[in-house]
């Protein structure tokens, strides 16, 4: 079975082709980051309009890369949610137009299931059950993944997501959007411990987290600095911020390993590309005789490959009748808010 995956939930348009026999054949991505950077964050209407411009070209690109034609496609998988409503509608309109034209089923995929399953595109791939830390721009969750499709939420942020905290801190430090890579690079130049920020909820007896207070601490530090533009000060503040986020995520992940006794750990979502976080979590998990898995670096942030992979897994789990029913469906919607635990 050859599945075309389409992602358009936020500021990246992605397309990919995956086959049940040969794995990921091709993927292509267009990032809108340069366009949104001028505004300091994603402008939803601009995102939607740009997805329209890119989607079909990216589908053609993956077909050429994989040496396949449109007629080879057996099914289409598209991000149905969560995400920006307008942006999702573009991807879903294209996906359903392709599906109806080719007479193949179109399946709506949960974006976070895509992030989680991206780790299964790594070699070696994690076996079920595993513990998952999902850290993206919109979500920060710890989950028990018993088997494919079974996601139990164990804890999550009560306010900002980790990626959002990176993005807001970047703004306060005058760094470009998206903040993650920029704050991380600046932190590399800082001295550990020079600026100590609070670690909210690090000792709370559960797996919940909070990151909005950190942004306030960064703001206070910037406002009270004698020279907020001083390079050493900015680097030390970035370092203090990254270390605080990493400490909280590491503490919660360790607690989750203890509570669940799970040894296989998957870290996914945009923030899983962070070097400081990867170094720390890898050490902590190995120290506890666990095995840690990440998606391939380029598949940590949003992409079409993870949607194609999640779509293929779901289609394979369906009966032929269920796939036929999907093919016969003549309506679609999007789910801008959609809980993974409810799948
Ligand atoms: O998963 P993703 O691409 O989109 C969402 O589903 O939200 O995650 C994007 C988030 C952004 O907040 C971005 O700043 C963060 O991931 N991010 C990083 C890094 N690369 C991306 N955060 C920290 N370090 C990075 N290297
Ligand atoms: Zn994402």
Q: What pLDDT score does 313 carry?
A: 97
Residue 138 CB–ligand 1 contact under 6 Å: yes
Q: Do 3 and 311 form a contact (C-beta atoms < 8 A)? A: yes
pLDDT per residue over 129-143, tens digit each? Answer: 999 999 999 999 999
Q: Does domain 2-116+300-342 have CATH number 3.40.50.10490?
A: no
pLDDT per residue over 105-123, tens digit each? Answer: 999 999 999 999 999 999 9
**Three-state DSSP class for 154?**
strand
CATH topology identical between 2-116+300-342 and 125-294: yes
Distance CA 173, CA 228 (A): 8
Distance CA 238, CA 182 (A): 9
Domain boundaries, the chain: 2-116+300-342, 125-294
Distance CA 93, CA 6 (A): 11
pLDDT per residue over 334-343, tens digit each? Answer: 999 999 987 8
pLDDT per residue over 153-167, tens digit each? Answer: 999 999 999 999 999
- State the pTM of this model: 0.96
Ligand found nearest the CA of 12 = 1
Distance CA 201, CA 267 (A): 20
Q: What is the pLDDT along the chain (343 residues), one digit of tens a residue?
A: 999 999 999 999 999 999 999 999 999 999 999 999 999 999 999 999 999 999 999 999 999 999 999 999 999 999 999 999 999 999 999 999 999 999 999 999 999 999 999 999 999 999 999 999 999 999 999 999 999 999 999 999 999 999 999 999 999 999 999 999 999 999 999 999 999 999 999 999 999 999 999 999 999 999 999 999 999 999 999 999 999 999 999 999 999 999 999 999 999 999 999 999 999 999 999 999 999 999 999 999 999 999 999 999 999 999 999 999 999 998 999 999 999 987 8
Q: What pLDDT score does 341 carry?
A: 83
State the distance from the centre of ligand 2 to the C-alpha of 227, rounded, in angstroms. 36
Residue 269 CB–ligand 1 contact under 6 Å: yes
Residue 91 CB–ligand 1 contact under 6 Å: no
Which of 271, 277, 280, 305 has most ligand 1 atoms within 8 Å of CB, for mutation? 271
CATH superfamily of 125-294: ATPase, nucleotide binding domain (3.30.420.40)
Q: What pLDDT score does 343 carry?
A: 85
Q: What pLDDT score does 342 carry?
A: 78
CA–centroid distance for 338 within its chain: 15
Interhelix angle 179-188/162-172, nearest 10 degrees = 70
State the distance from the centre of ligand 2 to the C-alpha of 180, rounded, in angstroms. 13
Q: Closest residue (by CA) to atom 14 of ligand 1? A: 180
Q: Closest residue (by CA) to atom 7 of ligand 1? A: 137
Residue 217 CB–ligand 1 contact under 6 Å: no
Q: What pLDDT score does 186 carry?
A: 98
Distance CA 269, CA 134 (A): 6
Q: Do 165 and 159 form a contact (C-beta atoms < 8 A)? A: no
Distance CA 153, CA 322 (A): 28
Residue 177 CB–ligand 1 contact under 6 Å: no
Spatial neighbors of 81 by CB under 8 A, at least 6 apart, are: 9, 88, 108, 110, 111, 334, 335, 336, 337, 338
Burial of 86 (0-12, 13-18, 19+ CB in 10 A): middle
Residue 166 CB–ligand 1 contact under 6 Å: yes
Q: What pLDDT score does 44 carry?
A: 98
161 CA closest ligand 1 atom index: 12
Q: Closest residue (by CA) to atom 18 of ligand 1? A: 180
Residue 17 CB–ligand 1 contact under 6 Å: no
State the distance from the centre of ligand 2 to the C-alpha of 306, rounded, in angstroms. 10
């Amino acid at each position: 079975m050859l599945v075309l995956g389409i992602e358009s939930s936020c500021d990246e348009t992605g397309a990919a082709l995956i086959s049940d026999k040969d794995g990921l054949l091709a993927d292509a991505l267009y990032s809108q980051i340069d366009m949104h950077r001028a505004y300091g964050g994603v402008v939803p209407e601009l995102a939607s309009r740009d997805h329209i411009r890119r989607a079909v070209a990216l589908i053609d690109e993956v077909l050429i890369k994989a040496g396949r034609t449109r007629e080879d496609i057996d099914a289409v998988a598209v991000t149905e949610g969560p995400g920006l409503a307008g942006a999702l509608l573009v991807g879903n309109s294209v996906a359903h137009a392709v599906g109806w034209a080719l007479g193949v089923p179109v399946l709506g995929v949960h974006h976070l299931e895509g992030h989680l399953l991206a780790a299964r595109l790594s070699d070696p791939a994690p076996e079920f059950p595993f513990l998952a830390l999902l850290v993206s721009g919109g979500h920060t969750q710890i989950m028990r993944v018993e088997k494919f499709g079974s996601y139990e939420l164990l804890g999550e942020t009560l306010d900002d997501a980790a990626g959002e905290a990176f993005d807001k801190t970047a703004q306060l430090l005058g760094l470009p959007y998206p903040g993650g890579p920029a704050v991380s690079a600046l932190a590399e130049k800082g001295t550990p411990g020079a600026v100590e920020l609070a670690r909210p909820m690090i000792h709370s007896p559960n797996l919940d987290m909070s990151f909005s207070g950190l942004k306030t601490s960064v703001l206070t530090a910037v406002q009270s600095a004698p020279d907020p533009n001083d390079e050493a000060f900015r680097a030390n503040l970035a370092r203090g911020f990254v270390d605080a986020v990493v400490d909280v995520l590491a503490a919660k992940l360790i607690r989750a390993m203890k509570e669940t006794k799970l040894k296989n750990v998957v870290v996914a979502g945009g923030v899983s590309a962070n070097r400081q976080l990867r170094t720390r979590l890898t050490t902590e998990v190995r120290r506890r005789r666990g095995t840690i898995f990440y998606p391939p670096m380029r598949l940590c942030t949003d992409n079409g490959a993870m949607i194609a992979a999640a779509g293929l897994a779901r289609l394979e789990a369906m009966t032929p009748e269920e796939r036929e029913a999907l093919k016969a469906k003549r309506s679609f919607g999007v789910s801008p808010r959609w809980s993974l635990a409810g799948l």
